[in-house]
Structure 1
Amino acid sequence: MASRQKVGALLATALVASNMVGSGIYLLPATLATVGSITVLGWLIAGGGALLIASVLARLGRIAPRPGGPSTYAGEAFGPYVGFQSSMLYWVQCWVGNIAIAVAATGYLATFIKPLAEPLPGALGTTAIIWVLVLLNIIGPRLVCQFKSFAIVVGLIPILAVATVGWLFFDADTFTASWNVRGEPALPLVSESLVLVFWAFLGLESASVAAAVVENPRSIALATMSGVLIATLVYLASCTVIMGLIPAEELAKSTAPFADAVRVVLGSVAGGLVALMALTKALGTLAGWILLTAQIGKAGADRGHFPAILAKVDRHGTPVANLLLMGVLMTVVVFATVSPTLGEQFGKLIEVSVVLCLLVYTYACASVWHYDQPETPPAARLRERLLAAAAMLFAILMIALSGTQMLLITAALVLVTIPLYALARRRAAALPA
């Protein structure tokens, strides 16, 4: 890339922050309200862990840029099976995360269509949103990209407004009263919140993309750390404000926390406008992620990891069968996770998505040893290894803290990859040389 087309550290930081701050947080305050405002401690810990992982991935992106991201590093470092497993888990994590975004969109749509807050109508609404956007991706991927670009700008307004202006209306008594709604010991509660909170940091691997566009490679780490830190501060500020505006019991039932927070201080019209902005952002994000997830599936099929049908494209280059299969899988999971509230369903989905992604992050961090450079001074090499070890430890602890049910789900998915890998190898061997 020509020097004049590259960006400096400031723009790289903005790239990292804007890639992270988005619709992932829109329904999260309602889910966290079931634990209490003590979850602010979880934000601080998760933010620190995100900084660790992001810095390791940024270094990998600088010394060994790969289009496949974390799963590619795992395959190169630990062999084809781990690469296959990582690709499969990363793909599943993506479309499960897409469902969570769709649930968040349904929550904000429920501001205008009240029955959607109920379990069955909500599931039908979420399914409708998914299929409209799947079909939109089939008909016009270019339109999806244009809509997503518009939605990014619109969707940041509610988050930034609550994180800044919201402090003028913050009620310390409301925040304190919601500190520990269960009355349980602090450590288990904070541990429980970590997996939920980390949902907002998924996608931090996109920070490594900056390696290809930053003018000075030495600025990569600074841009990565600064971008993740900005995202952490925005998340922490906005969630803290909301918990100081709405009592935890009421917040836990909310389908549109940011809209409800604005409604408390500025009235129904302003709240409705914020709900519309958040809905726009969620739909734009989901449309873009459906497109990206289909491309991840296609890349996996191109490498022989997934069935060949997922790599087939129409005359416009759109992986239609891939998108349709994803739509079916997402629909099944929507109804399998129906819960009394949208916030509870959202919590189930993001737990699965986070744990699977953390496993892929663990493999990627462990691959640092594989990419050792002989010319690196011993002290710097030791520092990089310690950083990678700390990031791995954080990710493993997060997975362990996810609970028995999540560990069983993760183990089952990992075990399923074994026969699937054998099937993929057999299929590849049967192909003509």
Structure 2
Amino acid sequence: MTDKSSALLRTLPAPRLLGRWMSLAMVVGTMIGSGVYLLPTTLAPFGPNMLVAFAVTIGGTMCLALALALLAARIPGGPFAYVEQAFGETTAFVTLWSYAVSQWTGVAAIAIAVAGALSYIVPALGHGVGLITVALISIAALLAINLRGVRSAGGLQVTATLIKIVPLLAVVLLVTGRFATATPVEPLAAVPLTLTGIATAGALMLFSLTGFEAAAIVATVTDDSETNVPMATLVGTTLTGAIYLTATVATLMLLPNARALTSAAPFADAIAPILGQAAGAVVAAIAAVSAFGTANALLMLAAEVTRTLARADDLPRLFRRTNARSAPSGALIVSALIAALLVLASSSDSFVPVYIFITLVSTVSALVLYLVCAAAALKLGVGGRWTALMIVAVAYAVVMFIGAGWEPTLWGFGLAAAGLPIRWLSRRFNRATSRRSR
């Protein structure tokens, strides 16, 4: 374990560490968020490409998850420790900085998705001032919860995870009922099967599947991390992938394609004609809770990552500050402010296109972590008999960059590179401050 990781663990008494079920809830709760509730909308134009993309994306994500699980079982301390040991401090910084960017953009996108879900009940919340207000209130509430400590955030994660699964199971049961009674279902969009369609659909799916790394990111605040982190990573990814596939396809079988293309709450729109508007409103509310729970995890991850970087003097010391509950208060406040600024900067009357673009930028930023960690697993030789799957993980990450498109990829790389001057300035300032304090 690195000195930085050991120091962080010593600051947290055992009762405040995440346990086995909280670690698993971090994975499942982060993965099952706003992404799955909007997948029917974002994937509707791709028709049969979606089915192939699901197989590729779930398989590729499992390979990436395996790489992280193998690293977590061998090297305590989380991704910073993995990458630093394999490629050095600079690569570790760029990788973790890029991941922090993905969490900031993710919090912004999902806060917007909270408003999108609630717009099914109150249409004015789906655009303009209403959308921005709900998103900003969501971020403020999440900040307050996380400032109460890691156990508070973990408890919310368990509760939100249990609630958010209900609508996903509901659409599957409704489609099963249609098959049992020979009732026709809606066809998928009639579009040709192409490599471009598969790659783009896969990149959109990956945003919904990001989060499998959550247990590894918070390994330094997890009890018995060498056992609990690999278990949570592999079990959580497998369970979530299966739920995503069945729930998304079931929703598109219930919802006409023309409606699915523009829906801000596709699960609610699919259920309401069958069970009534009241049921649709309940599903929309659950979708909002689901998104809120995911944003909670992303804010927590952003704070842990930036605190780790600050401990290495790569970010201002503000990010190191903790409160009486051992919560990284400085990192949490800055992360929440950045997410709020992104919400204001991305405000638009067109909810779906803005959401898609932000999610692709967030995906590209997270892909940097996935690619480098998979490469680290290869270099450090932790794969053993699974080495071939580590190679698949690297290749899959590269393909997903291509699928995301050139504009989100350039944004992602540009934001990653922007961290280098911030690191240089932080190191100079921190060293100067240390000399003056002697």
TM-score (normalised: structure 2): 0.83
User: Structure 1 pair 141/364, CA: closer, same or farther in 2 (3 Å)?
Assistant: closer
Q: Return 5+ residue gaps in structure 1 as ranges.
A: 374-379
1:186 to 186, 189, 194: 194
Answering whether residue 411 of structure 2 is matched by residue 409 of structure 1, we say yes
Answering whether residue 429 of structure 2 is matched by residue 427 of structure 1, we say yes
Answering whether residue 84 of structure 2 is matched by residue 84 of structure 1, we say no
User: Structure 1 pair 155/11, CA: closer, same or farther in 2 (3 Å)?
Assistant: closer
Which residue type is aligned with residue 192 of structure 1? T
**CA positional deviation for 1:267:** 1.0
- The whole-number CA distance in structure 2 between the counterparts of 1:423 and 1:15 is 33
Q: Return 5+ residue gaps in structure 2 as ranges.
A: 1-13
| More deviation, 72-81/390-399 | 72-81
CA contact (8 A) 2:27 2:214 kept: yes
- The whole-number CA distance in structure 1 between the counterparts of 2:223 and 2:388 is 22
- The whole-number CA distance in structure 2 between the counterparts of 1:320 and 1:215 is 28
1:355 to 361, 364, 378: 364
SS at the partner of 1:396?
A: helix
User: Structure 1 pair 190/15, CA: closer, same or farther in 2 (3 Å)?
Assistant: same
User: Structure 1 pair 351/72, CA: closer, same or farther in 2 (3 Å)?
Assistant: farther
User: Structure 1 pair 160/14, CA: closer, same or farther in 2 (3 Å)?
Assistant: farther
- The whole-number CA distance in structure 1 between the counterparts of 2:431 and 2:87 is 21
| More deviation, 234-243/111-120 | 111-120
User: Structure 1 pair 56/38, CA: closer, same or farther in 2 (3 Å)?
Assistant: same
CA contact (8 A) 1:109 1:279 kept: yes
- The whole-number CA distance in structure 2 between the counterparts of 1:286 and 1:117 is 18
User: Structure 1 pair 47/211, CA: closer, same or farther in 2 (3 Å)?
Assistant: farther
- The whole-number CA distance in structure 2 between the counterparts of 1:407 and 1:270 is 39
- The whole-number CA distance in structure 2 between the counterparts of 1:353 and 1:197 is 12
| More deviation, 242-251/12-21 | 12-21
In the alignment, what sits opposite 2:323? 314
In the alignment, what sits opposite 1:297? 306
1:385 to 376, 387, 391: 387
CA contact (8 A) 1:312 1:319 kept: yes
Which residue type is aligned with residue 57 of structure 2? A
- The whole-number CA distance in structure 2 between the counterparts of 1:11 and 1:287 is 13
SS at the partner of 1:175?
A: coil
CA contact (8 A) 1:106 1:122 kept: yes
Which residue type is aligned with residue 174 of structure 1? E
CA contact (8 A) 2:46 2:201 kept: yes
CA contact (8 A) 1:21 1:231 kept: yes
TM-score (normalised: structure 1): 0.84
In the alignment, what sits opposite 1:103? 112
Answering whether residue 420 of structure 2 is matched by residue 418 of structure 1, we say yes
CA contact (8 A) 2:28 2:236 kept: yes
Answering whether residue 157 of structure 2 is matched by residue 155 of structure 1, we say no
**CA positional deviation for 1:82:** 0.6
- The whole-number CA distance in structure 1 between the counterparts of 2:175 and 2:339 is 35
2:351 to 331, 336, 342: 342
- The whole-number CA distance in structure 1 between the counterparts of 2:282 and 2:413 is 43
- The whole-number CA distance in structure 2 between the counterparts of 1:320 and 1:207 is 20
CA contact (8 A) 2:25 2:157 kept: no
Answering whether residue 206 of structure 2 is matched by residue 204 of structure 1, we say no
- The whole-number CA distance in structure 2 between the counterparts of 1:313 and 1:366 is 33
Write the deviation string for residues 365-414 of structure 1: whole angstroms up to 9, x where unpaired: 111244337xxxxxx84x44332222111101111222111222123123
User: Structure 1 pair 335/36, CA: closer, same or farther in 2 (3 Å)?
Assistant: farther
**CA positional deviation for 1:320:** 3.6
**CA positional deviation for 1:148:** 3.2
**CA positional deviation for 1:136:** 4.1
In the alignment, what sits opposite 1:56? 67
Count the aligned residue pairs: 411
CA RMSD of aligned residues (A): 3.2
Answering whether residue 294 of structure 2 is matched by residue 285 of structure 1, we say yes
